[in-house]
Structure 1
C-alpha cells in the first residue's frame, strides 16, 4: 500500500512521533462500511471523532507527516498503520460546521461481533486511551517499520507487533482500509451529538 495521499515531510516529525500515546492509533471510519478504499485521496480538512470501548490490533506503525486537501493545503497529522484490527462498540461522529446538525454512526455493539478491519491507515491529530504495546520499538527509521505502508528514510518512527487501546477517543482527518467490516451498522442524522 503506497502513501500517495499522505505526503510526508520532516517538519515537526520528531515532535509528533515521540509520544507513544499520540502515536497510537485511531480508528476506522471514513464513511465506508465495507470494501476496498483507495489510499490516494484528498482530505476534506474537516475532522471527525471516533470512540471505542477497545481496539486490539497486530502489525502497528506510526510516524508524523502531512495530509493534503483538494486545494493542496497541507495538514500536519500523525500517520498510524495497523495490519489487522478489532474494535468493540465503535462510534463515529461528524458535525456540520455552523449548524446543529451532524452524522452519528455506531457499529460492533455486540461483544461477539466486533468491527474488523485490515490494512488500516489513519491520519489523526489527537488520541486518548490506555495503550499497551507488544514488542514496541521507538526511534526506528520510518522506512523500515513492520507494516506495508512506511515513512521516508531517515525519519523518526515507532512500530510494535501488537497494540491494545482501552477507552479509545480519537480526532481524525481521514481513515482508509483494504477491508472494513462494520457489524450492526447504524447511521443516523443527529443534532450534532458527538461520540465524546
Structure 2
C-alpha cells in the first residue's frame, strides 16, 4: 500500500480519534491545497509541543494531511485551521540533539489578561489533548468543502465549526504558521531539554 493510499484510507480514523479528545489548533491561512502541509516550507526533523490554558477561535476546520521534511520523508498529520484565535498562557517547546548534547528552546507568552493572538492559524499535529466545545459543528463533510480558506483533498473526511474552545490544551506538532501571530509578553529560554510545556 502506498503512503498516499494509507493516508486516504485512514483519514477517517485519524479524525475520529481526535474528536473525543479535542481536535484543533494552530496554523496557516491561504494556499493549502491537496492536503499538503505546509506549502511554503519543509518541516524539521523534530516535533514540538504547544500548550495553553485556553484557546478560543472562530472559523475552524480539521482534516488529514501530510507534512514533508527536507529529506523527503512524509509524516501523516491532522491539519487544524482557525481563522482567528486567542491563546492564554501559551507555551511552545522543542528539544534537539546537538554535538554538545540536548538543547531545548522554551517560549512562553500570553499570560494574565493579555492573551496571545493569531490570524489564519494552521497546525499540522500528531497529538492533541484537552476539553473542547464547538458551535455549529459539522462532522463528516468533504475536506474540499470545509468552511475555511484552507481546504483538504476531495473525498477525505473532515469537520468544521463556527467556533472552537479548548481548555488545558496540550498538542504535539510538526508545523505551525499564521499570517499574523502576536506574542504578548514573550519570553524565550534555552534549556538542557528537561523543561518542556508538558
Task: Flag whether TM exceeds 0.5 (same fold).
Answer: yes
Q: Shift of residue 110 of structure 1?
A: 2.2
Structure 1 residue runs of 4+, over 4 Å off?
Answer: none
- After TM superposition, list the pairs within 5 Å mapping 1:93-112 onto structure 2: 93-97=93-97, 99-111=101-113
Distance (whole Å) between structure 1 residues aligned to residue 145 and residue 22 of structure 2: 16
Contact conserved, 1:89 with 1:106, CA < 8 A, in 2?
yes
Q: What are the Cα deviations for residues 113-154 of structure 1, in whole angstroms up to 9, with x where unaligned? A: 110000011000000000001111000010110100001111
Distance verdict in 2 for CA 1:80–1:23, change over 3 Å = farther
Corresponding residue number in structure 1 for 2:46: 46
Query: What secondary structure, in the 3-state scheme, does the structure 2 residue paired with 1:163 have?
Result: strand
Structure 2 Cα separation of the partners of residues 9 and 24 of structure 1: 18
Q: Which runs of 5+ in 1 are unaligned?
A: 1-7, 29-37
Per-residue CA distance 1:23-79 (angstroms, 9 max, x = gap): 622346xxxxxxxxx851100131001110000000000001111111211001000
Task: Report which stretch shifted further, 139-148 or 65-74.
Answer: 65-74
For residues 161 and 96 of structure 2, the distance between their equivalents in structure 1, rounded to whole angstroms, comes to: 36
Query: Aligned residue for 2:190?
Result: 189
DSSP 3-state at the match of 1:10:
helix
Instruction: Specify the SS of the correspondent of 2:45.
Output: coil
Return the structure number with greater helix share. 2
Give the aligned partner of residue 147 of structure 2: 146
* Equivalent residue, structure 1, for 2:130: 129
Per-residue Cα deviation, 1:74-124 (whole angstroms, up to 9, x for no partner): 00100000000000000111112373420010000122x110000011000
Q: Which residue of 2 aligns with 1:161?
A: 162
Q: Is the 8 A contact 1:51 1:168 kept in 2?
A: yes
TM-score norm. by structure 1 comes to 0.86
* Unaligned runs of at least 5 residues, structure 2: 1-5, 28-37
Shifted more, 185-194 versus 8-17: the winner is 8-17
**Per-residue CA shift, 1:163-191, capped at 9, x if unaligned?**
00000000010001010000001011012
Q: Tell me if the contact between 2:22 and 2:130 (Cα under 8 Å) persists in the aligned partners.
A: no
Change (3 A) 1:24 1:118: same
Asked if the contact 2:117–2:182 (Cα under 8 Å) also holds between the matched residues in 1, the reply is: yes
Q: Which residue of 2 aligns with 1:35?
A: none
- Which position in structure 2 is the counterpart of 1:25? 24
Separation in structure 1 between the aligned mates of residue 20 and residue 75 of structure 2, nearest angstrom: 20
| Counterpart position of 1:119 | 120
Partner SS state of residue 13, structure 2: helix
